Amino acid sequence: MDKLPVSVVIIAKNEERMLPDCLKSVEWAEELIVVDDASTDQTREIVKSYGAEVFERKMDNEGAQRNFAYGKAMQPWILSIDADERVSPELAENIKMEIADGGDCAGYAIPIRNFIGTRQIKAAGYYPSYRMRFFRNGYLKYEEAGVHPRAFGEGKRGILKGDLIHYGCRDLTHFVDKLNRQTTLEAEKWIEDRRPMSMGKILFKIYDRFSRHYFRKKGFTDGFLGFLMSVFHAVYQFFTYVKYLELKNIERAKV
């Protein structure tokens, strides 16, 4: 495949294990950009061996990091991926076709195929999990939030065929570790936003998240893994609330 006018943008930290397969899957792109958060492994050396540009920036929050990375892109199209993701051949071909046809949308959502280890999560909202990842340069901007930042962009949106394959967790232990980190960031966001919370509200959230993912998003069709992922969505709300209360108590103690 000839090089396409695409800037592939990746944010990374200590990703020497995941980056080679990630970068191999996007060798068809004209520009590869990696924004590195002070890695202490071989991340920078691996990135440079694939001809990618490396920019150093300490992560303050995910939204700001992504906005910084997009600002370095020079090509008319941006493909935003993470080091633990791989572009499938079908997705690469679909991107090529959209560019050749003129791309009548400003941004395109891509179906994400999520894995824990070698096991794909097939239900509970994990597939297809569409995310806005391919867009015209200058189209998308993130809010500057540390966890789950919202993306904003004006213009027509479309959907691409072909999966972005996401090896987000090595195993369930790794998944729980990530959940612990993310709930800490989420609790901090609740405090920063002055979000009012109560026991009644959080109990409803716990019930709603489980029922949404297990029943409405058909987690029950994926056996025990579907049940487990639905439980994790409920547990996410519980842990965030407990950490939120802890932060509130620290705030009160300072007064």
Run of H or E including 191? helix 172-192
Q: Rounded distance, CA 235 to CA 89, Å?
A: 36
**Residues 84, 18 contacting (CB under 8 angstroms):** yes
What's the pLDDT score for residue 1? Answer: 67
- pLDDT tens across the length of the chain (255 residues): 689 999 999 999 999 999 999 999 999 999 999 999 999 999 999 999 999 999 999 998 899 999 999 999 999 999 999 999 999 999 999 999 999 998 889 999 999 999 999 999 999 999 999 999 999 999 999 988 777 788 889 899 999 999 999 999 989 899 999 999 999 999 999 999 899 899 999 999 999 999 999 999 999 999 999 999 999 999 999 999 999 999 999 988 886
What's the pLDDT score for residue 110? Answer: 98
**Residues 10, 31 contacting (CB under 8 angstroms):** no
Domain range for 95 is 4-168
Contacts of residue 111, Cβ cutoff 8 Å, sequence gap at least 6: 127, 128, 129, 130, 159, 160, 162, 163, 164
The verdict on 67 and 118 lying in the same domain is yes
Which pair of tokens denotes residue 98?
Answer: 């959209």
Which of 168, 203, 227 finishes a domain? 168
The CATH number linked to 143 is 3.90.550.10
The verdict on 83 and 206 lying in the same domain is no
Which of 168, 183, 210 finishes a domain? 168
**Residues 229, 124 contacting (CB under 8 angstroms):** yes
The verdict on 210 and 159 lying in the same domain is no
The verdict on 15 and 70 lying in the same domain is yes
The verdict on 249 and 220 lying in the same domain is yes
**Residues 133, 109 contacting (CB under 8 angstroms):** yes
Q: Rounded distance, CA 78 to CA 70, Å?
A: 8
The residue length of the chain stands at 255
Number of domains in the chain: 2
The verdict on 35 and 134 lying in the same domain is yes
The verdict on 46 and 120 lying in the same domain is yes
Which pair of tokens denotes residue 83?
Answer: 């080091």
The verdict on 236 and 133 lying in the same domain is no
The verdict on 139 and 198 lying in the same domain is no
What's the pLDDT score for residue 105? Answer: 95
